[in-house]
Chain A
């Protein structure tokens, strides 16, 4: 048995074990830490599978941002009810075995239906790879996300915007999520921010810039910048404010607007909708998407309509 197979088997087993601990653990904090570990293992598995675009996004979101989000959510929970949190969600319903069996049956059915797919000719992925050269893009994922399935990406950006608007509607003005965590008084954190934030920005802009030819792009860059935004919110460098500004609203919609332009502009020139408009147009659209993603995720974390910089 080769070491590669052993590594894969071990990674898979650890991932399933972690997932079980995350959902069935009786202590919330422990489940959160397991979830952070889950994000790390997931990123490693994506990397091992050669899906670097996903590994990059998962490293920024799963291991960094979501862990912090759950940590802050847990903190609020403890502040509201310090005692009862231990067994929250630990009650077993009698429906559990039924739901588990049905889910297992669904997974098995999907798995069996996917088995013969390997022989089908002309799969979408192969077609996309075959026509990659016509576009002049080196990264097949970028070609699929922005050209072949660009419409899906437009809808994804709309989903993100809708999610943000939904959260704004539901959130009460008083339930502020990110009270800064006083960590900013510590000497080390100040130096850490001075080192980390510029490098995060550099890496994010680099990922955006190379996204057409190498793993990277708007989603990866946006989630990295959002992680930096969360870091600044947690340390009190960015402060939530109650009133939104026109600039914030513009930046929130920029991604959707840029993709709509990418869809409609070719029609004005007499081509079909979403006709390929060249690398420059893609980069511009990705830059706009990056801004919207960054701002949406940061504001969702802040639980506020806008943020301002601490002076």
Chain B
């Protein structure tokens, strides 16, 4: 055993070379790099927030469009039916088509008989949307009958395929004109109203507004 110890002592008497500094550096760098937290460009939680924001943005952008489409649908029905024959907003041609045979000569009024203002229409529509009143079966049947008549059907189908988009800014525009009138800027109001008529030919001008723009009676 002492012989082994001698040999061991001889071996241990030799120089003890160390790894080169460059090698140490390489190994240490690799070790540090391996445990370094990986910086992803977008952390997972940030991705979740981004997705939520996009979803919220989509909802806020799509909701007015959906409402607007519903408004258009109601408007079309309002414009084509007599005042008492209001049709449910969701009632579409698809429902009406197979309905009972109706008089083919059913007249279609492109303009409503009622003298309702644009604001009134909007109000009624919003109320209609909120309450979703169930009209009595007779009104519905009448509506079905009118809609199922071929010329009307064609017209409605065409109208639905190329929907009239009423920008939500129409009300604002009207309010602006009223504001101009309130401010006494009559000429400007008239000009704006002319522009409005060109841009929104399908929107009725509130009677109160037209009355204010009429020249006063000189008699």
Q: Do A and B bind each other?
A: no
- B→A interface (CB under 8 Å): none
Question: Which residues of A line the B interface, CB within 8 A?
Answer: none
